[in-house]
Amino acid sequence: MSEMSPWEGNKALIAAKFPGLLEQLNHQGRGEGEDLRIETAASGDPTLIIRGVSIHSRRDPKREGQRLAETVQGEGPVILLGFGLGYTADALGERFPTESPLIMVERRAEILRKALETRDLRRLFSTPSLMVVLGEREDGIIGALHLSETHFPRGKVPPRVLRNSALVQLDSDWYAAVERQIKVWTSRDEVNQATLRRFGTRWVRNGMRNLEAIRDLPGIKRLKGMVPSHIPAFLAAAGPSLDRIAPLLPAIHQRCVIVAVDTALRCFVQAGVAPDFAVVVDPQYWNFRHLDRVSLPTTRFIVESAVYPPVLRHPCGGKFLCASLYPLGSFIEERLDPKGRLGAGGSVATTAWDFAGLLGSASIWIAGLDLAFPGLKTHFKGARFEEQVFSESTRFSPGETRSFRALRDGNPFWASAADGSRVLTDRRLSLYAAWFENRFNGTPGLKNYRLSGEGLALSGCVEADEADLLALPIQREEIDLLLRRAFAQVQQDFMGSKQRRRRQEHYHRALQELVQGLTRLQSLTRTAAMLLREKCAVERPEAEKTLLCNHLEVLDREIAASPVKDVAAFLAPLPIQSDGTVNRYEALSDAAARQLRLLGEE
């Protein structure tokens, strides 16, 4: 019996573990147009030549790969740019078999196929933490990094990047785009911390003013599965491509349950169509302004408890709460009435998509989800953002200048559009795209159709046209009947006098526990900070140090067990490394005091 070739052995393993990758290799990896040539190195191992350029050492490619792998230090995902024949990848798989995500990035399918035809890579492809990013889409790295954080959680540790210099130089533009995507990913925490410093107190203040809404409003969990699978949902985001769909909104209303983001509501008012649901979850004042001159008496608002308070007084057909994104709201909800969680990918559109899926439809038709700037536009015509730009335009600061800054300030770059063209996007929008791709591909039973090809290409979302949507049957009477019945059931189950009385009792107990917990936490952390200063201030006998350490351990255990520590820590700044422990205690003490002051103001 003849011995199995490297390709046959590798293919059998990849078919079982990475069937999608094998399909790519079979369809895209057969070309030889790049002059791929295998030669034998001095060590006897194969080496790869592309267009006359040596991709590995001509002397000992295996040892070269091992030396490069040995340079990796620290924690976090390991990203290899340029797979070649897999020598460095093989050494990384041997060095990090389980503990670190290994992400192999290769621009050309024919190179990876040549490696699998040349070398036995079954040990590498058996590595549990291995992921492969292959093909035309340079932003696929974002999805891999998201999965690495989901399946190999080690905290938010920056990835470590290795490069096959020869391959990176051969496709320099593509690999440079990949590295931009990695920088987008690693900058998330900096952006989140900057946002928290800027808006954290506002979010807490909003949440405290809205605490009674947790008591008085039903949660979106009561709407779960209310729509039969045969009735589609329509999701309206606020991107420029919504302009093209706007004339069809009356026809879409006849066929779908409509979920709109707050930014898109003016488009519906202009079209004379009321969406069934509007998702309004952003806590900032300027997002509340999207509701200016918006009257939708039959639309139900989906809100979050830290939303800008006037949103809860805005006239509409009713309001439902989703689970709070912030520790204060979560603390009250857990003791009173859990509302039902929605995904939060950083954009109201991510929350709206998750809500549309929660309703029970088997398909979601999407418009305005461009995640880019097609035609160098930021929103649909008539959006609040566009109106504000031109209303504040002056001779020395025209609207075009502000529009240019909106495009420039997000670190823009060119990426692939769904229709195969190039479109301008930025690092923030590319993070949203990674969230959507992860969810689209992670919910195979839910079909997603996007009605525009000019936005950023999204894996797992089918491009469709208006004719496909308009071919759906008219079902508005059935939709309205379902909604009326569902809302009547919620009214009966949630608003009865017995239920209201129970929630009132739980609400008061939760507030008392919150105040008492913050007061106790402030005392504990203040004491701990004082003891640690004493311990570090002067040389002390070992017996005294031991007593202080024992006392601090007791305090640490009680602080860790505090039910309000996350509520306080939300406003605590990051510790400074030079004296991080002292700062941690003092920061928690100060944050607890701030929360108590804010509660007193309310």
Give the tens place of pLDDT for each residue, 543-555: 777 888 888 888 8
Q: How would residue 410 be classed by pLDDT, with cut points 50, 70 and 90? A: low
pLDDT attached to residue 431: 76
- Pick 434 or 515 by higher pLDDT: 515
Q: How would residue 413 be classed by pLDDT, with cut points 50, 70 and 90? A: confident
Rounded-to-integer distance, Cα 110 and Cα 119, Å: 14
Is the model's pLDDT at 301 over the cut of 80? yes
Rounded-to-integer distance, Cα 434 and Cα 420, Å: 18
Instruction: Give 285's DSSP letter.
Output: H
Rounded-to-integer distance, Cα 133 and Cα 116, Å: 15
User: What kind and span of H or E run contains 90?
Assistant: helix 87-95
pLDDT attached to residue 1: 39
Q: How would residue 580 be classed by pLDDT, with cut points 50, 70 and 90? A: very low
CATH T-level fold of 6-186? Rossmann fold (3.40.50)
Instruction: Give 56's DSSP letter.
Output: S
Phi, psi of 519, rounded to the nearest 5 degrees? -65, -45
Q: How would residue 355 be classed by pLDDT, with cut points 50, 70 and 90? A: very high
Rounded-to-integer distance, Cα 327 and Cα 595, Å: 12
Rounded-to-integer distance, Cα 356 and Cα 359, Å: 5
Both tokens assigned to 545: 């140090």
Across all residues in the chain, what is the average pLDDT? 84
Q: Which stretches of 451-561 are assigned E, i.e. beta strand?
A: 462-463
| Averaged pLDDT for residues 42-55 | 92
**Nearest residue to 308 via CA among 290, 327, 332, 333:** 290
Give the tens place of pLDDT for each residue, 231-249: 999 999 989 999 999 999 9
Is the model's pLDDT at 496 over the cut of 70? yes
The boundaries of every CATH 3.40.50 domain in the chain are 6-186
Give the tens place of pLDDT for each residue, 509-551: 999 999 999 999 999 999 988 887 777 666 777 777 788 888 8
Rounded-to-integer distance, Cα 419 and Cα 436, Å: 18
pLDDT attached to residue 181: 75
